[in-house]
Chains A and B, each alone.
Chain A
Amino acid sequence: MNRKERIILHIDVNSAFLSFEAVHRLQHGATVDVRKIPSAVAGSQATRHGIILAKSLPAKAYGVKTGEASWEAKQKCPGIVLIPPDYPLYMCCHRALVRLLKDYSDKVQVFSIDECFMEAPGMLMKEESIRFAHRIREHVRQELGFTVSVGVSTNKLLAKMGSELKKPDAVSTLFPPEVGKKMWPLPVEDLYGVGRAAAAKLHRYEIHTIGDLAETDVKLLSYLFKSYSRDHGQMLWEYAHGVERSDIMTSGPPTKSIGNSCTVHFDVEDRETAHAVLLSLAETVGMRLRLANLCGRVIGVSIRKSGDLVTYSHQVKIQSSIDCTDAIYEYCRRLFDAAWKGEPIRGLGVWVNDLSSSGYIQLSALEKDWDEKKKVDRTVDAIRAKYGPFSIVRGNFVQSGLAPLAGGAGGDAGFPVMTSIL
């Protein structure tokens, strides 16, 4: 590569939750860097969210894995320090990172809480792009205190694959001419877009590395993945060759559905308690809809059984789109009553889809007009925005032992506004 090109970077925070936590603790006078001892961020066991969300490198050396139960981690590594998650803190760090990146380029795409894509301004030579990436890596570490891995290439796929090549605190290039050498030897499941099911399928056809995939007949792949989406096979084949054409999306994709679910910290066995949990979920979903200026006309409820953890659901399409908490709750209650078979419940979920802008609502002669309740929603939303999510809660949650707002990334912390931002 000896001419100027459009350069895409992928910036990935190393052990994000743990790093955020470590930095926060150090800033508040802690003497121990939790990144340097066996430690992990894990949900609270008391409320049954006890799985490992992020781990330190020393914990990894003991074989602790993301996603396993905390008690398993404790068996492998008895001295492990378990830290409860703090979603508001993570969001704070996330926003600081995005702000910093936007100083370098106005083309920044938030990909997840700890990953961003960005397009370097103007066209750059290879050497220039590497220097640019190092400048960002260095700046993040010095200003924010955590480290990032940066992938440098000419499209989003290769940039993302590139950032995986070396961790932590590193810059790796994966330009198209390097694909054969750097990407093809990797196991096929490392390719973005190859999930567990797809990997199993590919292994059955003796496709084990990304290189194997690149050499497979694209027609076979189209056939194998015809049930996924129209061009999934073609897409995987192109990915294996490092071909990907999408632009940096500075605004997120249009929201298709808004939903929240939660695990209840005891088995729910009666209708009233289930209704209360649905109400707390409806509070969150309604608030997120209104925050995004959306309303929807398909309302759904999912029920997760306690015994086998199997989830089943029920949904309804209604006449007029709604975003009102009471309206959502009313439909959820009816759906739940129609669907629930009486077994103990571990968790519940509520969603709204078939979304449209909430500025205009086609009225219906057959549905209740929720306008009065919507005024209450607006007032409550304003109070919560100013004084925090728990500044005003419904009376029925007081002393009920239930969260007044359930679901969201902040399941534990009960901070519901989070997921709508990503």
Chain B
Amino acid sequence: MKFTCSQKKFLESILTVQSAVSTRSNIPALEGILIETENDVLKLVGSNLNLSIESHTSATIQKEGSIVVPARLLTEIVRKLPDAEFEFTVLANNNVKITCLNSIVTLQCFSADEYPALPDIAESQPIEINKTLLIDMIRQTTFAVAVDEARPILTGALLEIDGKDVAMVCLDGYRLALRRGVMDTPHDSVRVIIPGKSLGEIAKILPEDDRKVSITISERHVLFDLGYTRIISRVLEGEYINYSQIIPEDYKTRVKVDTRILTSSMERASLIAREGKNNLIRLNIQDQKMLITSNSEVGQVYEEVPILLEGEELEIAFNARYFMEMLKVIDDPEICLDFTTNVSPCVVRPINDHHYTHLLLPVRIYS
């Protein structure tokens, strides 16, 4: 195997696939990056079996072949090479020689035979989705996936497609985030649960342009095809929780509030709350205004936020972190908070946009 490639392009490809490379694996080859010639392009692969990323880059291929190069070393070496063309040659015994201007590096590598085969995704009709919509869906929901493995299924996000409607849902029991959207091209109804971690990596790789991502779902895997980059993630098997059941339809207290004003008040209250053990903020909802208070050993905060109240006054407490994480992903200028009692879920939605729903469970306080 022998090729020449620009340091810049090659490094870009390495950095794309690197986030999927195992840091520690029973299969040593998985700690490497698979480099393969494919006609007149170069294919790089990083994988930890749960998530695999393939990136393609142009190169001048002199001799076909494949090799697995230790990922961490390769990244560091290529990063430090001068911005020029370099030559990559596989020698005998899986040794690799990298020549760039006046530098020559040789590396002990693995045979490509030791690299596990990537899953085959059966050809089926792909889902075409707008890239910005996909990024928004991931950004606005995946922070709410469960972090512990008490219910493994909840460490994933549910992606639901029905005709032109698409929805992504994450919930950990304490909160639920639901983002709906509309696609340009309809697709058959389908449901898949994708690990939150995989989606996080995908969002990092997706460049912000107007192109479409095509998603193919098979029984065990899901493929995100961006053209030059392909991402394959394992899916979580099992039944997702019937989330629509959890979202209450009625309310007794409805608060309309300016998102920016609420966010800055909450940020100040959080500063003090997070010094305490329970990271608690209290809301006292009255006519025309909502009082936000927090206190801990280091001090206290009192905030008054102007609101429009519909229904009953209410006192309720929340984990400040959960509240802030929700506010951070809402882009709309005005939101509406619906409450029933101070021990039942609060539903938050932008006023003019029902594509986003967030559900937040309060903290019960015993005196």
- Which residues of chain A have a CB within 8 Å of any CB of chain B? 316-320, 356-367, 369, 371
Contact = CB atoms under 8 A, between A and B. Distances in A.
Nearest to B245: A365
Interface in B205-244: 241
B200 interface: no
B80 interface: no
B277 interface: yes
Nearest to A359: B366
B158 interface: no
Given A362-B363, A363-B343, 4 more contacts: A357-B277, A364-B173, A366-B151, A367-B173
Given A360-B278, A366-B173, A371 B364 contact: yes
A360 B317 contact: yes
B363 A366 contact: no
A378 to B, nearest CB: 9
A328 B365 CA distance: 20
Contacts, number: 56
**7 smallest beta-carbon distances between A and B, as pairs:** A364-B173, A366-B173, A363-B361, A319-B173, A360-B278, A361-B364, A365-B246
A362 B361 contact: yes
25 contacts: A317-B150, A319-B150, A319-B173, A319-B174, A357-B277, A358-B366, A359-B278, A359-B365, A359-B366, A359-B367, A360-B364, A360-B365, A360-B366, A362-B319, A362-B363, A364-B361, A365-B174, A365-B246, A365-B361, A366-B151, A366-B173, A366-B241, A367-B173, A369-B364, A371-B343
Chain B CB within 10 Å — which of A316, A317, A358 has the most? A317
B148 A363 contact: no
A323 to B, nearest CB: 10
A403 to B, nearest CB: 29
- For this complex, into which size category does the number of interface residues on chain B fall? 20 to 34
Given A359-B366, A360-B317, A365 B345 contact: yes
Contacts of B174: 319, 362-365
Nearest to A378: B366
B366 A363 contact: no
A361 B343 CA distance: 10
Nearest to A363: B361
Contacts of B151: 366
A409 to B, nearest CB: 28
B199 interface: no
B251 to A, nearest CB: 16
B148 A317 contact: yes
Nearest to B318: A362
A360 B343 contact: no
Nearest to B322: A362
A363 B362 contact: yes
Interface in B353-367: 359, 361-367
A361 B342 CA distance: 12
Chain A CB within 10 Å — which of B150, B241, B361, B366 has the most? B366
B326 interface: no
Nearest to B278: A360
Contact of B363 (A317, A361, A371): A361
B319 A365 contact: no
A180 B241 CA distance: 67
Given A365-B171, A365-B246, A366-B241, A360 B363 contact: yes
A368 to B, nearest CB: 12
A363 B364 contact: yes
Contacts of A366: 151, 173, 241
Chain B CB within 10 Å — which of A356, A358, A363, A365 has the most? A365
B168 interface: no
Contacts of B17: none
Contacts of A362: 174, 319, 361, 363
A21 to B, nearest CB: 41
B280 interface: yes
A369 B343 contact: yes
A318 B151 CA distance: 9
A357 B173 CA distance: 20
A264 to B, nearest CB: 31
Given A317-B148, A365-B359, A371-B343, A360 B280 contact: yes
B176 interface: yes
Contacts of B148: 317
B173 A365 contact: yes
A96 B149 CA distance: 48
Contacts of A364: 173-174, 361
Nearest to A369: B343
A306 B363 CA distance: 44
Interface string B146-189: 00111100000000000000000001011010000000000000
B364 A318 contact: no
Contacts of B366: 358-361
B224 to A, nearest CB: 29
Nearest to A318: B150
B319 to A, nearest CB: 6
A90 B367 CA distance: 34
Contacts of A318: 150
Contacts of B361: 362-365
A317 B366 CA distance: 23
A315 to B, nearest CB: 11
Contacts of A365: 171, 173-174, 176, 246, 345, 359, 361
A314 to B, nearest CB: 14
B192 to A, nearest CB: 21
Contacts of B367: 359
Interface string B231-268: 00000000001000010000000000000000000000
Interface string B329-367: 000000000000001010000000000000101111111
Chain B CB within 10 Å — which of A318, A357, A366 has the most? A366
